Structure 1
Amino acid sequence: MLNHQVEPARTLSRSGPLGFILTNRWGVRPIIAIALVWASDRLVKKMLGGLANPVQHSGTTDTLLLSPVLITEFCRLAGLILVFTLFSYIQKEPIGAWGYRDAKALKRLCWGLFFGFLFMSTLVLSLWGAHLLIFLPSAFSLVETLRLGTLWALMFLLVGIFEESQCRGYLQYVLTRNIGFWWTGALMALYFMYAHWTNQGENMIGLITVGAFSLVACYSLWLTGSLWWAIGFHAAWDWTQSYFYGAANSGVVFEGHFLAVQPAGSDFWNGRMAGPEGTPLMLLWLLLSAIAMYLYWGRRTKRPLATVTSI
């Protein structure tokens, strides 16, 4: 069993009014945590303005647009780390205790990357085999393809770290102590759906699959006590869908992709503007992923988060 459970409540600092507020079970600590996590992200987006989403499909191939996106994602992650650092200091609890401290972190990350690519590839190829997607030729040379692939990989790794940390990092742990792990997981899934709701081209099935993805990522945390597999899976999911196959990702088509696919046939089954995330087949793929996770981890390990105590 991984040795990185959340420390019992008695180890949390209660020195001074601020310490009491932030550590008292029925105080406002969870509310403050949610507010600060949300506010830090909104502040970064407001400060950077139009840099946040400069790669929506515009008919150009200006790959320099990747630079503002990388800056935006880096700043969003930096803001989240500042919030985590504050709560780590107040609670006298290391950030690593919130899903990051794992002796197998690199191994889990790499396996998550592998299965994320495999997951999305089998789905896209299944849609192609069912004549629901059409492949288009690549417009880039090999050198340019490798360069773009590396840049997009870095960007989506930042996205994976940020979104998994935001939804299943500190907030998952602090709310688990108050309302339980799976109620927290459901709440974070609803938040994750809301965060994707404003994406152009997103559809209802796409929102449902986003929520289901959040629960699957939460299940990996429940089984392993670690965020690293989910981070890798999330990053590879986005990279494979958006860059490698050039499909829409939650309603957004990114520039500078390797291949390109075009929806065909039934709009209900091909996901249309929402991309592969908008097809009902995605729910089946996610269910199979959860079953595979249980077969691999579920019967071999104890639940690392079963000892999280209420405050």
Structure 2
Amino acid sequence: MDNPNFTQPAPSGLPDNILSAPTPQDPHEPRIFHRIFFGDEGLRAGWGILLFVLLCFGSNYTISRLHLLPAQPQTNLAQSSPELAPVPSVISEGVMLLLVSLATLILSRIERRPVTVYGLGGSGRLRLFLHGLFWGLVLLSVLVLVLWKAHLLIFDREFLAPFAIFRYAAVWAFGFLIVALFEETFLRGYLQFTLTRGLSGLYRLFTTPKRAGAFGYWTAGFVLCSVFAFGHGNNPGESPFGLFAVGLFGLTFIFSLWRTGSLWWAIGAHTSWNWAQSFLYGVGDSGNMIRYHLLASHPIGQPLLSGGTTGPEGSIFVLPTLALLVAATFFAVPRTQRWYPANPASAATKID
């Protein structure tokens, strides 16, 4: 019987360990490779942001190259601001929302966090959404009223026939809900959470975890609001002050997320504000005009006062309106849980 403890000697001239098992790989090597991509809180923030952006823009680029989306109908070249048609607009924004949702879902699985942790969770979501709808509609109406009373905005006539009012009111309400969902989840969902997580880790080198979380949150908010404003720069009727106002709008929504722990207030206010501008009053919406709006109007006077082709957001009167929007968030909406806890690793368990 062979002796299991017997080792056959190596042939002459060869080292003794040539027939022995190969030397195990250094156990620290895979650990080092793992630490490049993962930290104590899971996937590192920089890699997460890079993957999220690649998923969103890569898939959007592929779709655009394949010409899978309907193009906007050609408009009269004499128009200063071409009007957006409802069906192509809703489909395009819906596809973008789908891509962002899929990217968020994929990253949530990689990071082993519930998808609701990226601003869509929390309690009282319907109540927050309805609050946002109300205040967005009311305060945009107040802004339009001020411009009208100051003779900076003139209403010409009703644009739609009675039988078409309800149809296009519903179509554009759905369309602007899709726009709000897309823009809020794209810039103030996964990206806000993850950039906050990464920046908070840097701030914790210099201050307490609680302060680091706050500093990281607001730094991320300023960065992404700048991206939000920059993204509106190609709108045909946009102005420099209008872009500044867009950034302030983003900060208003960042504040509502910080206070309520949810994106739903911002989604509601974003939806009704855009719907009231574009459909109800027929004014510019960050330089864009839509087809089939209820009222027809035009601005007069200095663009910095009237808003010009940008719409009410291009008027300096938008500043006190935004202050009222912040006040409505602070006083009319009860504070729930702060969205971003001091310990980022515990966020998934603290937010349902």
User: What TM-score range do you get, normalising by the shorter chain?
Assistant: 0.7 to 0.9
Structure 1 position 263 matched with structure 2 position 299: yes
Aligned counterpart, 1:29: 48
Could you tell me how far 1:28 is from its partner in structure 2? 2.3
Structure 1 position 81 matched with structure 2 position 101: yes
Give the distance between the partners of 2:36 and 2:59, measured in 1 at CA.
21
Give matches, 1:157-176, under 5 Å: 157-176=177-196
Give the distance between the partners of 2:180 and 2:250, measured in 1 at CA.
12
Aligned counterpart, 2:206: none
Could you tell me how far 1:246 is from its partner in structure 2? 0.6
Aligned counterpart, 1:309: 344
> Match of 2:148, as an amino acid?
W
Q: CA contact under 8 A between 1:57 and 1:255: conserved in structure 2?
A: no
Q: 1:52 to 1:280 in 2, by over 3 A?
A: farther
Aligned counterpart, 1:244: 280
Could you tell me how far 1:291 is from its partner in structure 2? 2.6
SS of alignment partner, residue 340 of structure 2: helix
Aligned counterpart, 1:9: none
2:223 paired residue among 187, 198, 219: 187
Q: 1:69 to 1:301 in 2, by over 3 A?
A: closer
Aligned counterpart, 1:10: none
Give the distance between the partners of 1:227 and 1:212, measured in 2 at CA.
16
Give the distance between the partners of 1:206 and 1:56, measured in 2 at CA.
24
Q: CA contact under 8 A between 2:281 and 2:295: conserved in structure 1?
A: yes
Could you tell me how far 1:84 is from its partner in structure 2? 0.9
Q: Which has the larger radius of gyration?
A: 2
Q: CA contact under 8 A between 1:209 and 1:278: conserved in structure 2?
A: yes
Percent identity over the alignment is: 35
Could you tell me how far 1:284 is from its partner in structure 2? 1.7
Give matches, 1:122-141, under 5 Å: 122-141=142-161
> Match of 2:55, as an amino acid?
L
Which sections of structure 1, spanning at least 5 residues, go unmatched?
Answer: 1-13
**Structure of higher RCO (CA pairs closer than 8 Å, 6+ residues apart):** 1
Give the distance between the partners of 2:38 and 2:72, measured in 1 at CA.
37
Give matches, 1:265-284, under 5 Å: 265-284=301-320
> Match of 1:111, as an amino acid?
H
> Match of 1:198, as an amino acid?
N
* Count of aligned positions: 294
Q: 1:52 to 1:112 in 2, by over 3 A?
A: farther
> Match of 1:94, as an amino acid?
P
Give matches, 1:1-311, under 5 Å: 20=37, 23-25=42-44, 28-48=47-67, 51=70, 53-54=72-73, 65-179=85-199, 180-297=216-333, 300-309=335-344
Q: 1:64 to 1:112 in 2, by over 3 A?
A: closer
Q: CA contact under 8 A between 1:192 and 1:211: conserved in structure 2?
A: yes
Could you tell me how far 1:223 is from its partner in structure 2? 0.3
Q: 1:98 to 1:276 in 2, by over 3 A?
A: same
Taking structure 2 as the reference length, the TM-score comes to 0.76
> Match of 2:269, as an amino acid?
F
Q: CA contact under 8 A between 1:56 and 1:254: conserved in structure 2?
A: no
Q: CA contact under 8 A between 2:49 and 2:195: conserved in structure 1?
A: yes
Which sections of structure 2, spanning at least 5 residues, go unmatched?
Answer: 1-30, 200-215, 347-352
Could you tell me how far 1:148 is from its partner in structure 2? 0.5
Q: CA contact under 8 A between 1:99 and 1:225: conserved in structure 2?
A: yes
SS of alignment partner, residue 199 of structure 1: coil
Could you tell me how far 1:267 is from its partner in structure 2? 2.1
Give the distance between the partners of 2:119 and 2:74, measured in 1 at CA.
31
Give the distance between the partners of 2:166 and 2:287, measured in 1 at CA.
25
Q: CA contact under 8 A between 1:57 and 1:253: conserved in structure 2?
A: no
> Match of 1:133, as an amino acid?
L
Give the distance between the partners of 2:223 and 2:246, measured in 1 at CA.
13
Comparing 268-277 and 36-45, the one that deviates more: 36-45
Could you tell me how far 1:306 is from its partner in structure 2? 3.1
> Match of 1:257, as an amino acid?
H
Taking structure 1 as the reference length, the TM-score comes to 0.85
